[in-house]
Structure 1
Amino acid sequence: MITFSNPILLGGLAAVALPILIHLLHRQRFKRVVWAAMRFLQVSLQRNQRRMRLEDLLLVVLRCVLVALLALALARPSLRSETSGLFGPSKVTGVILLDHSRSMGVSDGVRTRFDLAKQAAEQVLDALPAGSAVALWWVSDTVQPAIPEPTLDLNLVRKLVREAPWTDRSTDLWPGLQRAVHTLQRRLSPAKAIYLITDGQAQAWRHWPQMQQLLETAREQVATHIILVGEPELANVGISNLQLAGGLCPVRQPVRFEVQVTNYGRNEARHIPVRLSVDQELPCDEFTIEALPGGASQSVALFARLSSSGFHAVTARIPSDRLPADDVRTLAVRAIQDVRVLLVDGDPGSEPRSSETFFLRHALVPVPPDRASDYFIRPTVVTVPELAQVRFDDFDAVILANVAELPETELAALAAYVRRGGGLMVFLGDRINATFYNEVLGKRLGLLPAALGDPRGQANQQDQFFTLQAQGYEHPIVTLWNDPAAGTLSSARFYRAFELKELDPTGPAPRPTPTAATDGQTQPEPLQASRGNEAGAPRVVLRFADGTLAMAERAWGQGRVILFASTADTAWTDLPVRPAFVPLLHRALGALVQHQDQALNPPVGGSFAWHLPPDYLDRDALVSKPGQPNAVRDLRRIEMLQGRPTVRYDQIHWAGLYEVSVPDPPLTLRFAAQADPAESNLEGLSPAQLEQLGRHVTVTTWRPGAALHSAATPAGTHLDLWLPLALVALAVAVVEMCLAQWFSRPK
């Protein structure tokens, strides 16, 4: 069967008519003239007329053949044979897609799936016909071209296959397949092939409809071979999450961590010891899960003490199984010596218990009075008139409790404080000037994550109340209560609360307007000097049971703002006397104080960015990767970002602890990359899916030692015809030129 690489150029065959048209248009035309000697010329013409017509016809035919040959050669025809012995094996132009995602780390005790995949890739190279060209790409949820375009140097490809790195990235084969098909469709080779070497994990085929359509559409031009390696493995238990449960991470205090263990298999797993350690030391806490049903998850609360302030690595472990990568998870935390909180009391009351900040003070320091001085949270209470003598920069967070409004000078200082990284928490109440909050804090500054509507409910009718949502917590501040063992938020009663109107997260953030600064503060930046949109997208933290907004937050500048719909005392709600109030307040405070610390645990495949003091600008930082102490460390320049010196690192391919060090002045940062827990689900494609896939591609299950000649060699063979056609066209052109010269000689 003949196929064409450029079938559109077959339209050039229509040009065969051009020599005929030119011949017809330029035929000699005679004018009849009667004169005496005409009979002698007529005898001569009749004698040569047959020969001249044959000569002209021969030249026209040669010219038509020449045009046809050129059109066919440009269309690049190839002769395809279903048998391999007619012309011998064809040269292949191909792309090898080598899956190096986390699931490829499954081991049989001797070799991992990735080891087998590299062996299979070498088998493909050995089986390719001589003269083939191959590109090599490492694929996961992204494409990393080791050799971007097909090369004839198969030894180089083999070397890079052996050096290919396994990573902790998740799997999505759609980008790699799509890019490989488009790359090969631009090539003019008659035999084009994709060799996808993977473990068949169903997670990797999440774009199943699009992938099916792509492979079906491309199969006439590109042959796709899917080579499956490794034995099916369904049983797997892994650590799916590790998080700081309390929100704050003080030194020398018991810090609670939540470890989530998931059984990804179908059978029950028993006696799973979960251990917690700090900085690679001996385990400091342990708990044994007696039974974990298939497909279930269980959270375990473990405690640790951090001996010093600064960066620490907290690691949870369970016994290793066939996929050891998910049996350990590391969290980077920054321990703090103390937290200084400024409480602005909008209604001090006549006695301590009637103060707006009474319950806040006790919830922030939930220890007996004789131990309060040793506790790490240190609250300071002031009234609005006393703010003029306060330096906001002396505090880690500011809480406004039923504050009617702020003077212009204090407002400017507070905005500058949040811009530089301070935290602001706002509780509402009966003294609130809603116009000030909406027009100034909301529209003018963009500080508030929601707009204030009218209050609803009656504080004095306590038989009528509304409650908080009971499940489906998504924001990190409240995800703790997804575990029933942590208690509940829905038991709190709200008798009155402001209606919070959600803002459009895609809308433009308000820009600050000019406000004067005071000498009593640390020279706040003029509000008109705002750089770009300082207000981040508002986020819902918590809702009431009827779906209305109860708590929201947003980033603003380098800081963060949290807004509650009700009061901080018991005037409108009994939440302050509920057990959940202390952890809710501490987790909200942690979100304010350790706002930048969220960057310490980026996802694998993400990026890390950390703001540094001005002294480090334009210095070089060295980054060491997890599990590679002797590897070459990456160098990164500390550059200005968002007006602050920042170190950035985006080559996060492995889960675990990374270390960033700057030699002068000495500084060490730590961050821990978190792998996608979905990669721990080892369920593969179903037999029905494999059968459906086999209609469009060749699916081969490879075992060590097996040959891959049938998969690597194209079905049938191809013989390129464009070069012979071009040579014949050249010969015809020479013959036509010689004959035209010969026929035009004088006779």
Structure 2
Amino acid sequence: MAFLNPLLLLGVTGVSIPIIIHLLNKRKFERVVWAAMRFLRISVEQNQRRMKLEDLLLLALRCLLILLLALALARPAMPAAAGGLFGQAKVDAVILLDASGSMTQTDGVMSRFERAQKAAELVIDALPAGSCTAVYLASDAAQGLIPEPTYDLHLARKMVREARCTDRPSNHFPPLVRAFAILEGRRSVRKEVYLITDRQALGWRQMADIRKALQAARRDIQTHVVFVAGAEDRNLGISDLRLASGLSPVQHPLRFEVQVTNYGRKMADNVHVTLRVDNDPPIEEADLSGIPPGASRSISLFAKLRADGYHTVTAQIAPDRLPSDDVRTVAVRGIQAVKVLLVDGEPGRELRDSEVFFLRHALQPVPSVESDRFFIRTMTVTPAQIEGVKFDDYDAVALANVTDFSEKAVAGLEAYLRRGGGLIIYLGPNVNPTFYTDRLFTRHAILPAAVGTARGDAGQTDRYAGLQAPPYDHPLVSIWNDPMSGSLTSARFFRWYELKPEAAEKPAGEAGPSKVVLRFADGTPAVMERTWGLGRVILFASTADSAWNDLPLRPAFVPLVHRSLGALVQRQDEGLNVRVGQKFVFRAPAELLSRDVLVLKPGLRDDAPRDSRRVELTSGGWPILQYEETDRGGAYEATVSGDPPTVLRFAAQPDPQESSLEEIAPAHETELGAVANVIPWSPGTALDGAIQKERVGTEYWKPLAILALILAAAETGLAHWFSQSK
């Protein structure tokens, strides 16, 4: 026996009230000797037994009436096995259907998600008549198919059958918290949550929080965890795809790095990888062999973009039992030309003495006769000319060994960065550290670090500092994690400035957080960067020429310069690639404001229905296109109305962790079983029996209330009858 309102059991103490009143009202007799009283005494003696029985009967009825009222208000309930007389109590339920990427895995006949759908239908069938249920797709968030419990169980079955799996990562904690919040305020004897999922360990990474939430809700809510999948030992997936060449000019070979991971327990051989642009056939392919269990291998493939604008590039391997990670797509913007302004802080007498000599040739690594046709165009000015330059005419600005410049030029650079420009700064013997630290770092927060004292001696070439060895974490230099790409460690730095990032841990205003791109061998920063407004700033601790280091003489210098330029130019395009489930936000040109946008999801035909959005003006004054429904990995196409229409492509990438075959640990499953009903299930087996044996059964407050009314009527009638003269 259980009570839903146990505090109201205190009302049982009210049974003592009629007893106390009865005792207080007992009549006390005084003996009076009188001859006429003899006849009255004989009458009383003859009726005394009957009167006592009548009083005791009324007292018992009144006590029982108070007892029944107290019990009815406390809402008693009994297990289902003992409640057959009144039928099963109604259930308020929430069904959480795991729709994360791992649920697309198949056994060759049926996917895990299809199993989960069948299990969810059986759960609905097992609900007693008059029950209601909500239905949610669960991943790292809860997506409501039926947000509030409905009594239309036919609708619930329909929504379960029509549900589609997503590529989102799994995390069971947020959906469970959402389910408990829905049921918390509902007045029902039975409240149940059904989490139908596979055994993937990723979903239980917040096990401590999950167990705490289950324990807190356990008193009022019964949670059932239905496991619908068995073990799997093979899976290959594309865990990363990125543009490795830094820039994406049209009609030039672009290098893409494809990473394939073996998530299985056996060696993977002869992995065929293809690369295609947009919806065209594959343009390059290669094979990977010998990927051990748990290991990753990378391969470089090349592609060309035929026209400027937005494109998608897709890498693919042969399909296996988890198809969602066999394809990966990135979005890139093809560019016709990149204009770079070089500010030469020390022009020199000869062309080779120029501070930007090596930088200019790295940006245009072609013969001079072809430089005019090369996609990177450069313009060189002196610091004295900087105030007369219109920065917006250039995609990037490079300051090389510039002493300082006016406040007007600083304000111009700020406005340029705010609108999405890129700035590279190389230090050197001419720079004024006080100006760079006080003005550009402290006051305007343009620099990612303060400029400290100069270290080393450019005249002593036998004493130098080297760069850190791999692995590299920052995307700008991650290409050198592959030995086939060359090495940065051969470069020697004879003199450099200290960069002090510890003073720039917190962003200020429009400045983003400071990040270390590359370190010296002793761990101090050599290259740092930060975002500023819609632009980016990269700061090098040494010179752009060979006066303080020999990096410009090394093979790695050209790709490092190009990747740095790519990081600046593609700053505004970073939002083209999002994680599955992440909101896509794109700053549109002003002329597209208030235009309608139609978005085509991955895997759909061109004539399929599209989602409608609009380019809206945000509080910051920028026209913004936002799209939230990025639940599927792959290429999205947004068509902005106009004549002609503007086509924008972006891509969503699944979380590589969702490809893991690691299952929930036995110890965690034991912990889970202590606070929830864990049910392993496979198609063809019963599910209702495992559910019903855990149910807290029928409420009895209505029968008790009816009985109390009957007793109240009986007590009133008997009291009236007993009071009549006999």
The TM-score with structure 1 as length reference comes to 0.89
Sort the Cα spacing of 1:192 and 1:370 in 2 relative to 1 into closer, same or farther, 3 A: same
Taking the aligned partners of 1:33 and 1:350, their CA distance within structure 2 comes to 141
Instruction: Spell out, residue by residue over 1:492-549, the C-alpha distance to the aligned partner (whole angstroms, 9 max, x if none).
Output: 222222221225667461xxxxxxxxxxxxxxxxxxxxxxx32222222222232222
Using the alignment, how far apart are the partners of 1:410 and 1:94 within structure 2? 65
List alignment gaps of at least 5 residues for structure 1: 510-532
Residue 579 of structure 1 pairs with residue 569 of structure 2: no
Alignment check: 8 A CA contact 2:69 2:704 kept: yes
Is residue 569 of structure 1 aligned with residue 545 of structure 2?
yes
3-state secondary structure, aligned to 1:269: coil
CA contact (8 A) 2:77 2:696 kept: no
Distance 1:358 1:64, change over 3 A: farther
Contact 2:454 2:496 (8 Å CA) reproduced: yes
Q: Is 1:701 the counterpart of 2:677 in the alignment?
A: no
- Tell me the SS of whatever aligns to 1:718: coil
Structure 1 counterpart of 2:659, from 662, 672, 680:
680
* Correspondence 1:606 to 2:605: no
Q: Please say if residues 575 and 585 of structure 2, whose CA atoms lie closer than 8 Å, have aligned partners that are also in contact.
A: yes
Closer, same or farther: CA 460–152 of 1 in aligned 2, 3 Å: same
> CA 1:436/1:733 → structure 2, altered by over 3 Å: closer, same or farther?
farther
Find out whether 1:657 has 2:656 as its counterpart.
no
Kindly provide the amino acid, as one letter, of the partner of residue 227 in structure 2: L
Give, in whole Å, the separation in 2 of the partners of 1:368 and 1:567: 24
Partner of 1:516 in structure 2? Answer: none
Aligned position for 1:74: 73
2:314: which partner in 1? 315
Amino acid at match of 1:376: F
Shift of 1:23: 6.6
**Which range moves more in the overlay, 60-69 or 424-433?**
60-69
Q: Which residue of structure 2 aligns with residue 425 of structure 1?
A: 424
- In 2, Cα distance between equivalents of 1:58 and 1:565: 100
C-alpha distance in 2 between matches for 1:508 and 1:65 = 72
1:112 offset after TM fit, Å? 1.6
For residues 244-289 of structure 1, the C-alpha deviation after alignment (integer angstroms, 9 at most, x for no partner) is: 0011100111111100011111111111111111122122222111
Q: What amino acid maps onto 1:564 in structure 2?
A: F
- Given the superposition, is the C-alpha separation of residues 567 and 31 from structure 1 closer, same or farther in structure 2, using an over 3 Å criterion? farther
**Distance verdict in 2 for CA 1:145–1:565, change over 3 Å:** same
Report if the CA contact (8 A) 1:129-1:713 is conserved: no
Aligned partners of 2:242 and 2:257 also within 8 Å: yes
1:730 is matched with 709
Decide whether aligned partners of structure 1 residues 370 and 153 sit closer, same or farther in structure 2, where only a CA change above 3 A counts: same
Same amino acid, percent of matched pairs = 53
More displaced 10-residue stretch of structure 1: 205-214 or 401-410: 205-214
Aligned to 1:489: 488
Partners of 2:286 and 2:669 in 1: CA distance: 41
Does 1:554 find its partner at 2:530? yes
Contact 2:329 2:635 in 1 (8 A): yes
State the alpha-carbon separation in 1 of the partners of residues 492 and 9 from structure 2.
79
Which residue is equivalent to 1:520?
none
C-alpha distance after superposition, 1:331-388 (max 9, x if no partner): 1100101110001111112222222111111111122223222211111111011123
Partner Cα distance (1:635, 1:167) in 2: 20
SS in 2 for 1:711: helix
Q: Specify the alignment match of 1:253 in structure 2.
A: 252
Q: Is the 8 A contact 1:90 1:714 kept in 2?
A: no
Q: Is the 8 A contact 1:622 1:636 kept in 2?
A: yes
TM superposition shift of 1:470: 1.5
Indicate conservation of the 8 Å contact 2:189/2:696, yes or no. no
SS of the equivalent of 2:128 reads: coil
- Whether the 8 Å contact between 2:83 and 2:697 is mirrored in structure 1 is no
Q: Look up the equivalent residue of 1:174 and give its one-letter code.
A: F
SS in 2 for 1:287: strand
- Counterpart residue number, 1:395: 394
Q: Which moved more, 1:161-170 or 1:624-633?
A: 624-633
Question: Once the 2 structures are TM-superposed, how far is the Cα of residue 32 of structure 1 from its aligned partner?
Answer: 10
Distance 2:580 2:485 in 1: 29
Matched-pair contact (CA < 8 Å) for 2:449–2:504: no
Q: Which has the higher mean CA deviation after the structures are superposed, 339-348 or 71-80?
A: 71-80
Contact 2:99 2:139 in 1 (8 A): yes
C-alpha distance in 2 between matches for 1:229 and 1:626 = 27
Q: Indicate the larger mover: 29-38 or 601-610.
A: 29-38
Q: What CA RMSD, in Å, does the superposition of the two structures yield over aligned residues?
A: 3.0
1:673 Cα deviation from its structure 2 partner? 0.6
2:521 corresponds to 1:545: yes
* TM-score scaled by length of structure 2: 0.92
The Cα shift of 1:173 comes to: 1.2
Change (3 A) 1:84 1:44: closer
Partner AA of 1:371 in structure 2:
E
Contact 2:80 / 2:88 at 8 angstroms: preserved in 1? no
Of residues 136-145 and 533-542 in structure 1, the stretch that sits farther from structure 2 once superposed is 533-542
Instruction: Please state how far the C-alpha of 1:50 moved relative to its aligned partner.
Output: 8.4
For the structure 1 residues 44 and 685, does the alpha-carbon distance in structure 2 shift closer, same or farther, using more than 3 Å as the test? Answer: same
- The amino acid across from 1:150 in the alignment is P
Distance 1:479 1:119 in 2: 45
Match of 2:611 in 1: 634
Is the 8 Å Cα contact of residues 93 and 194 (structure 2) preserved in structure 1?
Answer: yes
3-state SS of paired residue (1:128)? coil
What is the letter of the counterpart of residue 697 of structure 2? Answer: H
User: Residue 710 of structure 1 is aligned with which of 655, 665, 689?
Assistant: 689
Q: For residues 132 and 693 of structure 2, what CA distance do their matches in structure 1 show? A: 13
Q: CA distance change for structure 1 residues 437 and 87 in 2, over 3 Å: closer, same or farther?
A: same
**Contact 2:88 2:698 (C-alpha < 8 Å) held by counterparts:** no
Deviation at 1:305, TM superposition (A): 1.1
Which residue matches 2:299? 300
Residue 127 of structure 1 corresponds to 126
SS of the residue corresponding to residue 265 of structure 1 reads coil
Aligned to 1:720: 699
Q: 1:738 to 1:677 in 2, by over 3 A?
A: same
- Of 549, 553, 566, which aligns to 1:590? 566
Q: What does residue 159 of structure 1 align with?
A: 158
Flag the 1:451–1:66 CA change in 2: closer, same or farther, 3 A. Answer: farther
Q: Deviations over 1:86-106 (max 9, x none)?
A: 765554332221111111111
Query: 2: distance between equivalents of 1:35 and 1:360?
Result: 135
Query: Shift of the alpha carbon at 1:218?
Result: 4.4
Q: Is 1:439–2:416 an aligned residue pair?
A: no
Pairwise mapping of residues 230-245 of structure 1 onto structure 2 (< 5 A)? 230-245=229-244
5+ residue gaps, structure 2, are none
- Which shifted more, 686-695 or 592-601? 686-695
Distance 1:358 1:422 in 2: 23
Question: Deviations along 1:143-185, whole A, 9 cap, x unmatched?
Answer: 1121223332211110001111111111111222233244445
Counterpart of 1:669 (choices 640, 643, 648) is 648
